[in-house]
Amino acid sequence: VARRGDPRTPTAEAVIIGNEVLSGKVRDENAPYLIDVLRRLGVALTRVTVVPDAWDAIVETVSEAHRRADHVFTSGGVGPTHDDITLPCVAAALGRPIIRHEGLERMLHDLYGDRLQAAHLRMADVPEGTELVMGDGLMVPAVRCENVFVLPGVPSIFRQKVDVIARWLGAVPYHARYVFVQTGEGALAPILHDVVARFPDVDVGSYPRLDSAEYKTKVTLESKERARTEAALEALLERLPEGALIRVEDPGASQSPA
């Protein structure tokens, strides 16, 4: 059920760039972080794509994400080394030339001082029309061109920049309830069908867990209106078989990342 197509709901896509993730040398921490921040912001993440450090794959994926989503976040490929090609790829995806950004160049000079290498300055070569997103705690601002935020793969810096960008993106948060039951998905299916039919504006999911002694299925209910989530919860609880309910959880919702 992709009911996140609400016209009030902004959408986002993430493009995670890096051979190291696909080959298992480094475990991606950035998509999970972004997922949590966007959930709390009420921005609907509609796709995550992990691609190698390869020109065609990056250009094509960024270009499609740019057309489909309100916001695009890329992670990785913006350092000074030979395989860092994200900025020229984003330029190609947006049909823009690469220019040396004077503000960024100055900041890199300030940051590295004597240690500045020619390779560092590649980080100041950005698509024409790039704007900088400044914020607390950032040594180097986040880079945005049109709807594409180009972020580094290094997890600590990625998180800092996402937090700064999140403050830009005001949106309506989701209200969710999680229901843990001792009922398998087969027996739940007709009950959930019924809830889905009565509450078409509520996102209903069910996730069996076979290796948990505690519960058999986790049912999730989510909408942008607290009253609708609660009404769907009540409808679900009424229909559950005697003794099936274990507990109901409120994962919380807030306007800004923790």
- Report 129-168 residues binding a second copy (CB under 8 A): 153-157
Kindly state whether residue 50 participates in binding a second copy, applying the rule CB under 8 A.
yes
Residue 2, interface with a second copy (CB under 8 A)? yes
Closest CB to a second copy among 8 and 27?
27
Does residue number 120 form part of the binding site for a second copy (CB under 8 A)?
yes
Backbone phi, then psi, for 59, in 5-degree steps?
Answer: -60, -45
Contact status, residue 29 vs residue 36, Cβ threshold 8 Å: no
Instruction: Tell the smallest beta-carbon distance from residue 129 to a second copy (Å).
Output: 27
| Residue 57 host element (H or E) | helix 55-68
Pick from 196, 144, 148, 163: nearest CA to 30 = 163
Rg (CA), the chain: 22
- If one asks whether residue 190 binds a second copy (CB under 8 A), the answer comes out as yes
Q: Which pair of structure tokens corresponds to residue 245?
A: 């309910």
CA distance 215 to 62: 40
Angle formed by the axes of helices 155-168 and 30-41, nearest 10°: 20
When binding is defined by CB under 8 A, the residue of 7, 115, 136, 137 that contacts a second copy is: 115
Minimum CB distance to a second copy smaller for 131 or for 194 = 194
Q: Facing residues of 180 across strands? A: 218, 247
Q: Does 65 bind a second copy (CB under 8 A)?
A: no
Contact stretch for a second copy (CB under 8 A) within 24-32, 98-106, 126-134, 234-242 = 24-32
Contact between 203 and a second copy (CB under 8 A)? yes
Minimum distance between the CB of residue 164 and a second copy, rounded to whole angstroms?
Answer: 16
Q: In this chain, which stretch among 95-103, 112-120, 129-137, 235-243 interacts with a second copy, using CB under 8 A?
A: 112-120
In this structure, are residues 18 and 77 in contact, taking their beta carbons and an 8 Å threshold?
yes
Residue number, 154 or 246, with CB nearest to a second copy: 154
How far does Cα 50 stand from its chain's mean position? Answer: 12
Q: Does 258 bind a second copy (CB under 8 A)?
A: no
Tell me the closest approach of the beta carbon of residue 203 to a second copy, in angstroms: 7
